[in-house]
Amino acid sequence: MQHDPRFPALATRVTGPNGVVTVAHYDTLGRVDTATVQNPLGDGRNQATVYAYDNRWDLPTAVTGYEVTGSTWRPLSGTARAAYDSTNGNTCPRSEP
């Protein structure tokens, strides 16, 4: 297991019992901004998840999954989004188009 020197308690690289490696990158506040599972299916492709945050409430506003091959990032599906009430941080209801 490896660590980010800014946040020694947060792992940056973990190898699971099956040998699959997960790498995490953190923003300046110690929140995961990208987590990548390296070659989980043994076919050379990685799976990455990218996070965006509401800085006031320190909660995620967007989560997007990608298939990564070399330097090509292809979205796996749409982005999951969330919004928060500006007065209390409660989750706002979503309206679908």
35-71 pLDDT, tens digit each: 999 999 999 999 999 999 999 999 999 999 999 999 9
Residue 95: pLDDT band by 50, 70, 90 thresholds?
A: low
CA distances from 25 to 2, 4, 33, 94, 95 (A): 11, 8, 6, 29, 31
d(CA 76, CA 46): 11
